[in-house]
Structures are given as structure tokens and as C-alpha cells.
Amino acid sequence: MYSQVIAGTYFTSKDDQTVQVGENTLICIDEQGQIVRIISDREPEFHSVRQTAADQNNLLQLAANERLLPGFVDLHIHAPQWAQAGLALDRSLNDWLNTYTFPLEAKFADDQFALTVYSSLVQTLLANGTTTALMFGTIYNSSNLILAQQAAKFGLRALIGKVAMDDPTQTPEYYRDESATEALKATREFIESMLKLQQQTRTTLMPVITPRFIPSCTNELLQGLGELAKQYDLPIQSHCSESDWEDQYVQERFGQRDAEVFDHFGLLTDQAVMAHGTQLTDGDLSLFRQRQAAVAHCPISNVYFGNAVFPTRKALQAGNQIGLGSDISGGFSPSLYRNMQQAVMSSQLLTDGVNNEMDSTKRGVPDSRISMKTAFYLATKGGAQALNLPVGAIEVGKQADFQVVKLTPALTAESIDDEFERLLYQAERNSISWVMVGGEMVYQNQEGHR
């Protein structure tokens, strides 16, 4: 009757303020890996469906201390930078890029090095509950395709971009596209190769138009990338108003703000995901809403390089699309649990302010705090909506992208709301029992009971 049935209690976001709880339910999955029915224990068919699944060896019964969550959607990962995660985060953005990051990414001309790093990254993401990832590759198509192949091999939903960067004033000679023409040619070749690989592997690989950020791209390249995005109807990813330096650089060069420049070149669309946005103004956010573009909020990375706290609550209340990104390696952790926690902490810092020499009534931005329920939405449903993908929620019609997480033993009686909050604050990688993508088991904790 069903390909698989999962029995247990689940948490999923209904909206950015509300978490839906399904206690003692059956999640029914078809052969295409789609959720086709959710049955509560109050429904007449509950016991018969459960028994049939058990008889057919298609029942996955969660333990009493396990909970089912949607797989996480990470909206911003620099895949090659996994090799330097946690390094040099005390440097300025410009110094970090030129001294550490560009030299590292240049090493990905070596396919064997790329294979080692990307195999590790993909498996690590899955082990941390991330099932969909929007990723920057490098300027090298060969290693970018290795990243895609590793994603297909291990079952990660992957949206991958060939990084385009050709401006000789802002990129090193040893690591940049030779010209806008060459960058556009290589981008087109990567798109075609990815679409072919998608058909061959029958996986959800997707090419993404990827200008690194405006400072690294000439006008000709930005114009051409916008045209490619339109021609192929593809997602777009970049950085937007991510720091004081970058925000000011764009204004000096164009006399316009980041968002306006991206819009001018056809790169701010309903398929665009722009990372960081700590310097976005109300006018910028309004333009994002008009174009239905999304922001990838990267709370850990923003502490190091953003020069401000992204106003998550304000943007959500205004109707902006927001998801969560780890920003490996500007963010040191591949875990969206850590990033959810930081998102809540950063929002409180924005509310209170941080300069104790200022009057307490003036140092913060009132009512900026978000809850863990909101952070959970960003990591799941918010990210899925940003990518226009049927994932990120435990709902009929969505793909069966799940993680099963063990509860930390409670010392006192808890409500289901308390249980949810403690789970998200205390979960670690070893708390995750198994991970499923499209109904296929892609990770099992070897220390777990399965």
C-alpha cells in the first residue's frame, strides 16, 4: 500500500511563529519518496495501516526517545572552504579572502584534492541533518562536477554554482576567470553538464548562477550571468550587502546599493538567494519583497564578518523570504542546530544592544528577538520556500526528507513545547539517529540502534 511508514512523533513548522506537533502518528511515503498521508492514532485506519506496514517489513518505528524532524535546508555553503572551517576567523573579510580563502580555492584545480574534501563535506552535512544544500563551488568545472557527483552518490539534494569572478582589481591573478567571456562560457558548460548529470543520476542536482559577489565581477560578467539565469530559468546565489567594506565598495563603484545593482543586471529574481544582508536598508528589503528574492541569514558568520546583526524578525514581519545558512567556512560549523542557536542569541543582542556606555533605552533595537520556533522555520520551511522546493516540512505532498533525533533525558516533567525547545538547543551530531532524503536512507548513526 505504501512504500514506507514511519511511526512516531514529529515536529514541523507551520509558519515562522508556530510549530505543529504530530504525536503518535504514521507518516506514509510512496515509491517516489513523497509523503502521501499522515495518520493520527485517533483515525480508524491507524492500527490496520501500521500492522500492514509491519507485516510487509515497511514500518520504521521510532524509539520512545526519538523525534522526527524535517531535514534542514542550508542556503549558503562555500563547499571548498570546508577544508579551512574554523580558521582565521579573527581576520577582516578582505584579509581572510586574500590570505586564506582564495589560495585554498585555487587548490581545487586538483581533482583528487577536491574529491577528498567534497566527499567529507557531503557526508558531514547529512550526518548533521542537512538534506538540501545551496553551494558555491570554485571557478573550476571539473571539481564542481566532482562535488555534484559526491552529492548524488551520498543522496544530498544539491544546488551548485560554478563561481564566476573576473574583475582583476578585486581578484588575484592566480584565481579568477580570464575574462567575462571565458567565465560565461564556462558557466554555460557547467549548466549543461549539470543538467546531463541530473538526468543520468536521476537525482535533484541543480545548477545555480553564481557571481561570487559584485566586487569580484565586471559589469559585462554580471550582465551575461543575468541573461543566462533568464535563458535557463535557474536559481541565482551571491552575497548582498554583507559587510561595511563590501556595501561601501558597491556604492562607490555604481552609485547604487547592492540590491539595486543585482536588480539592474537581472540577478534579483524570485529564484535568487542572497547571503548575509546585514547592511540591507528598508528600501533594499522592499526591493527584495517586490522581486520575491530571499535572504540567506548566516548568524555565525555574520558575527565574524557582517559588522551588524541581520534584523530577522523585522524582515519576516515585513514579508521577506528568509532562510538559514551555515556559510562554511565564514561560519565554523556545518550544523544548522548551531546556527539556529546563534540566530536566537544574535537577535537578543540586537534587541539589547552591546555598548554599555550608551543608555539602555537607546543602545538596542526593540522587539528584534526571535524564538527558537522562528529559527527552526528558517532552517526548514523558510529555506525550502526560498528554493521553491517541496521539502522542509512534514506535510502531505512534500518529499520525505527527514532526520530522527534523540531527546536529551529530561530531569523534570516537560510540556511538548518544552521538549521541542530543549531538543533544538541540546541536539548534537551524535543525537541524530538517521537521515532520509526522498524516502531513501542516506545516513545511519553507527552508534544508534539501527
CB-based contacts of 258, cutoff 8 Å, min separation 6: 214, 240, 241, 246, 247, 250, 274, 279, 284
Give the model's pLDDT for residue 447. 67
Q: Closest Cα to residue 406, out of 386, 384, 422, 385?
A: 422
pLDDT of residue 449: 43
Q: Which helix (H) or strand (E) holds 164?
A: strand 157-164
Q: At a CB cut-off of 8 Å and minimum separation 6, what does 10 contact?
A: 21, 22, 25, 27, 67, 68, 69, 394
CB 129 within 8 A of CB 435: yes
% of the chain surpassing 90 pLDDT: 93
pLDDT of amino acid 410: 83
Q: If you average pLDDT over residues 221-229, what whole number do you get?
A: 98
pLDDT for 92 equals 85
Please state, in angstroms and rounded to a whole number, the distance separating the CA atoms of residues 445 and 177. 41
Strands 402-406 and 321-324: unpaired
Q: Are 401 and 132 spatial neighbours (Cβ–Cβ below 8 Å)?
A: yes
Q: For 49-53, 233-237, 398-402, 406-410, which range has the lowest pLDDT when averaged over its residues?
A: 406-410
Q: Does the pLDDT at position 450 exceed 60? A: no
Mean per-residue pLDDT, 39-64: 97
pLDDT tens-digit readout, 260-287: 999 999 999 999 999 999 999 999 999 9
9-25 pLDDT, tens per residue?
Answer: 999 999 999 999 999 99
Angstrom CA distances, 404 to 6, 53, 123, 430, 437, stand at: 11, 19, 16, 11, 12
Model pTM?
0.97
> Does a cis peptide bond (omega within 30 degrees of 0) precede residue 329?
yes
Grid cell at residue 7:
511511526
More confident residue, 448 or 72: 72
The residue among 339, 378, 389 whose CA lies nearest residue 132 is 389
- pLDDT for the residue 213: 97
- Segment 167-178, tens digit of pLDDT: 999 999 999 999
Average pLDDT, the chain: 96
Residue-wise pLDDT tens digits, 107-143: 999 999 999 999 999 999 999 999 999 999 999 999 9
**Which of 407, 410, 300, 306 has the alpha carbon at shortest distance from 68?**
407
pLDDT given for residue 1 in this prediction: 78
DSSP classification of residue 399: B
pLDDT at 384 over 60: yes
Whose cell is 517541496? That residue is: 390
> What span, in angstroms and rounded, lies between the C-alpha atoms of 207 and 398?
22
Residue 378 pLDDT > 60? yes
Helix (H, G, I), strand (E, B) or coil at 390: coil
For the chain, domains (ranges, CATH) are 4-70+393-444 (2.30.40.10), 72-387 (3.20.20.140)
pLDDT digits (tens, 9 = 90+) for 86-113: 998 988 888 889 899 999 999 999 999 9
